[in-house]
Every structure is written in C-alpha cells, then in structure tokens.
Amino acid sequence: MANIAPSAEAAALSFGGEMELSPGQARAALSGGEATFDGNIRTVASGRTGLKLIAETIAADGPGTVLLPAYLCPSILQPFCEQNLPLAFYGVGEDLAIDTEHLRRQVAELRPRAVLVIHYFGFPVVGLPSRAAAPDQVHDSTAREAARPPGTVGTPRPGRRAPPRTAAEDDPLSGAGSRPWLIEDCVQGSWMGDSPGVIGGVGDFVLTSFRKYLPVPDGGLVLCRAPGVVLPRLAPAAGGFVQRRMAGKVLRYRFLHEETGNRRLERAFLDRFQEAEAEIDHRVPRCGMSQLSLRLLNHLDIAGAVRQRRDNFRTLLDAVEGGTRLGDFCQPLFSCLPEGVSPLAFPVRVRGGARDRLRRELAARRVFCPVHWALPEEVRAADFPQAHAISADILSIPIDQRYDTADMQDLLHRLNESASATMQNMA
C-alpha cells in the first residue's frame, strides 16, 4: 500500500468536492427575486429531470430506441429506463469525439427515436450532427415508416463505385428515415440557457444541471426546439432532496471555514449529500428548480465563475505542458480552450495504470478528484474498448471558481508532490 500520510504542507484548504454555501449566500436565498428564463425553456430540479421530460415526450410519441454515447454517466440511463425505452450505444473515440461512422451505422440499423450527445467537460463534442430536422419531417411513427427509404442499409456492390455523398447522406442521423430527435447534454458546463452559445445550438432538446457547476442545491434547464412539442411546467422542488443538499452545503462551509478538522461535522455533511443522492437515484424527481436555487442564481456572479474556471484551466494546462512532475505521466484530454467554454474540470488521463494510486495520494493532500465516469454495465467492454480505456485512467482535477491564482499555485504544488510520491511507489 502506498505511503499516503498527509504531507507537512497539506494546508486546511481542500480542493474539489461539493460546493459549499456561506451563511451570507444562504440568507440571500431567503429573500430577493428569482432568476427567470424566457422561451420554451423549463427549469428542472436536476439534469435527470430534464432527461425525464424528454423521455416522456419520446415515449408518448411511440416505442423506439434511444441511442446514447458509449462514454457516459450511468445516471443518464435512469430516466429512459423509467419510461421503458430501449437503449443502444454508439462509439466514442479515445479523444471523446463521436465515432461518426459507428453512429451512422447504428442510426441506419436501429432507426432510433432520439440520439443523445454529451459535450464532455463543457467542450463542444467533435462530430456533432448538424442542425436538426428539416421542417417537413414529422415525429410521428406513421410518418417515420412512410419516410423510410427502402434499401438504404448495406455496402455498395463490388465493381460499382459508390456515388459521392450528398450533404444529407453526410449527416450521420439521415439514415433513420425520419430524422431522430437530437438531445444535447450540456450538464458538464458552458450552457446556461443562452443561445447561441458555444454549445446547445443545434439540439431539438438541450439540457443542463446547475448543481455541478454552481453553489446551488438543485436546478437545471431544459430547452425544447422540437416543432409542435411543448414541455410541461413543473412545480418547484421543495422537499427532502433540496433541503438535505442545502443543509449539506451550509455544514460543509462551517467545516471548511470555521471548524476545520471537526470530523463529526464532516460526517454530517457527507451524510446529507449521500441521502440526497440516494433519494434521486431511487426515483428521478418530477419538479422544477426550487425557489431557493432560483434566488441564489440571481445573486451569483456567473460571469466571474466562467472567467475563473477558464483562468484556472489555463494555469493547469500550462503547467502540465511545461515539464512538471504531473505532466510526466498525466495527459490532458483537452489541450486548448475554445472561446465560450467554461469547463467543469481539468480532465487528464493518467499513464501506467497509476490513476487510483495518484488519486489516493491527492486525497491524502486534500485534493478530491472525481472519476467521470465508471461506465454502466450496459456498455460492454468487448463492444466499446475505447470508452472503457478512458474510464480506466481518467481523472478530473478541480479548477472551479472557489480557487484563485494563489490557490492554483498551492494546488499545483500538491499535484506535483502527489505525482512524485506515486512514481516513487511505482518504482
């Protein structure tokens, strides 16, 4: 077992973990106005609630498969399973780009009702299908059957030259006959209901979840552009999930800033968060964003959060590419930061099978790095080796708006120390 005693320098500051809420922020949530959203946007309690509304729309339209990327958060399956919608997967490359050839084959073979894409870590996914359905394409099963062109699946006969692809054929979703709905999952950042943004501009449905990105107990958005579809307005969440997460956030603030080292307090907030997750894992809530979170949202400096996340991302990118210990065996998944992206984290791939060891070393120095994600069993390693290869060595380093430039230097120090300790233990 690695030597994971905390270093002498391990300071009180923790990196990562749930975003805490100060008493001042909590008080603000008890008064003041609520954030509002225009157009065909609905607020939702969580990302899964957004997916639930979409899944209900698909199920109401008739039976049919939903096609998901093989690299995904297991919780995405839940709302579709609750509606008994069959699921299938398409491949994603080791750079997290859509395997467009596999997507095309899956669409032609399975004729799905909907295809979901994920903008991983808030970066525009490579291979995103272009703008949605032509206006005359109707999402109705009769129209779907009628529109299905005969003999569209299959390879060209030997001796015959395949004709050049038309623009429509180039679209990986075109082989379904009636074009499937496109769902853009923006839960990992960069989309706050704004249009046009760097992502979220083409989907028939677009969704996000604020609680990954901002210090709010719940909340998210779902936008619908599908012609003729109006999503229901949901009553605001008010119950256990919101209250437990709110309590967890306030307790965590106390633990970090007032009673550092109080293990009982630490246990208390971890328990609140776990109970809240268990509640929503059991059944996806069918509620809108709580009034608490809508008020908090009105007070938060979102532009500042975006700026800080971008600055912090760049600091780590420069360090990893600039010959640090960390850079010796961590490879960033994204080596540039396009305009408009506000990333969830700084994801790296850890070489040499050392991910879990490095993660433990980091935790010993109070740097808590999640793994996005351990894949659900429905994605079989034999079918999707690339997705499983990423899942085995990916690690998300925190870069969120809680940390300023000085904090990032502290973080870098801990990262390099952890990298050295990991290497020593591997030698």
Q: Under the rule (CB under 6 A), what is the footprint of ligand PLP?
A: 46-48, 73, 75-76, 118, 185, 187-188, 209, 211
Q: How far is the CB of 333 from ligand PLP (least distance, A)?
A: 15
Point out the residue whose Cβ comes nearest to ligand PLP.
Answer: 47
- Decide whether 177 or 288 has the Cβ nearer to ligand PLP: 288
Which region, left, alpha or beta, applies to residue 383 given φ > 0 means left and ψ of -120 to 50 means alpha? alpha
- Decide whether 178 or 188 has the Cβ nearer to ligand PLP: 188
- Decide whether 48 or 179 has the Cβ nearer to ligand PLP: 48
Candidates 172, 169, 94; CA nearest to 128 is 172
Q: How far is the CB of 225 from ligand PLP (least distance, A)?
A: 19
- Decide whether 29 or 73 has the Cβ nearer to ligand PLP: 73
Instruction: Specify the pairing of strand 205-209 against strand 181-185.
Output: parallel
Please state, in angstroms and rounded to a whole number, the distance separating the CA atoms of residues 51 and 187: 11
- Decide whether 146 or 374 has the Cβ nearer to ligand PLP: 374
- Decide whether 329 or 334 has the Cβ nearer to ligand PLP: 334
Q: How far is the CB of 372 from ligand PLP (least distance, A)?
A: 7
Token reading at 305: 């959060």
Please state, in angstroms and rounded to a whole number, the distance separating the CA atoms of residues 36 and 267: 35
34 Cβ contact list (under 8 Å, min separation 6): 291, 294, 295, 297, 298
Q: Which amino acid is located at 332 in the chain?
A: P
Instruction: Give the containing element (helix H, strand E) for 347.
Output: strand 346-350
Partners of residue 349 on adjacent β-strands: 331, 394
- Decide whether 284 or 419 has the Cβ nearer to ligand PLP: 284
Which region, left, alpha or beta, applies to residue 122 given φ > 0 means left and ψ of -120 to 50 means alpha? left
* Secondary structure (DSSP) of 359-424: HHHHHHTTB----S-PPPTTS-TTT-HHHHHHHHHEEEE---TT--HHHHHHHHHHHHHHHHHHHH
Q: How far is the CB of 286 from ligand PLP (least distance, A)?
A: 12
Q: How far is the CB of 47 from ligand PLP (least distance, A)?
A: 3
Q: How far is the CB of 213 from ligand PLP (least distance, A)?
A: 10
Q: How far is the CB of 183 from ligand PLP (least distance, A)?
A: 10
